[in-house]
Amino acid sequence: MDDHDLSADQALREIGRMRREVRRSENWAGRLFLVAGLAVILYWTAMFLLPDPAPAIAAVLWVALTGASFVYAVRQGVQGAEYRRLEWPVTFAWLATMVGAVLFGGFLLPDEPAGWWVAAALAVALCTAVPPLWAAWWLLRRKAER
């Protein structure tokens, strides 16, 4: 493109193109929250309800997933404004639900849960997924609307 040939129409089209490129690249955060939300349900279900060695395997996989997520996140070339706005509130809400799950598993859940305890354990596992799944829905829905 030549500097002197840039018309208003071309300029607006280029702005639209860059906007689309940036927003396509921003989707990583929504996908990451989605994976984290689904993974945390499996993690707590394994920790609460499955026999050995499932909890140990879940813990190792969780640490690996956390590490991989961190590497994936820092390698992205775009950080969206929505992601930045949600990042800390969602992190704190998620941390609170995770602490709640730890306390539930450590102090309330019997060693061999049965009946309503199984339902309660599954409900707690689902609760821990609410913050990341909500963030994923919010970010990906906004992308779909654009």
Partner 1 sequence: MSGNGSHPRHALDPMIHTPVRLSIMAALAAADKVEFRFLRDTIEVSDSLLSKHMLTLEESGYVRVEKAFVGKKPGTWYFLTPTGREAFQAYVATLEKIMKGTPDA
Instruction: Work out whether 81 is an interface residue with partner 1 (CB under 8 A).
Output: yes
Instruction: Choose the binding region for partner 1 from 22-30, 33-41, 104-112, 122-130 (rule: CB under 8 A).
Output: 22-30
**Token duo for residue 132:** 């990341």
- The answer to whether the bond into 55 is cis (omega within 30° of 0) is no
In this complex, which beta carbon is closest to partner 1, that of residue 5 or of residue 112? 5
How many other β-carbons are positioned within 10 Å of the β-carbon of residue 8? 7
Binding residues among 48-77 for partner 1 as defined by CB under 8 A = 74-77
Say whether 6 sits in a helix, a strand or coil.
coil
- Residue from the set 50, 72, 84, 99 that interacts with partner 1 by CB under 8 A: 84
Nearest CA to 95 among 84, 103, 106, 107? 103
How many other β-carbons are positioned within 10 Å of the β-carbon of residue 96? 12
Instruction: Work out whether 31 is an interface residue with partner 1 (CB under 8 A).
Output: no
Site residues (CB under 8 A) for partner 1?
A: 1-3, 6-9, 11-12, 14-15, 17-19, 21-23, 25-26, 74-81, 83-84
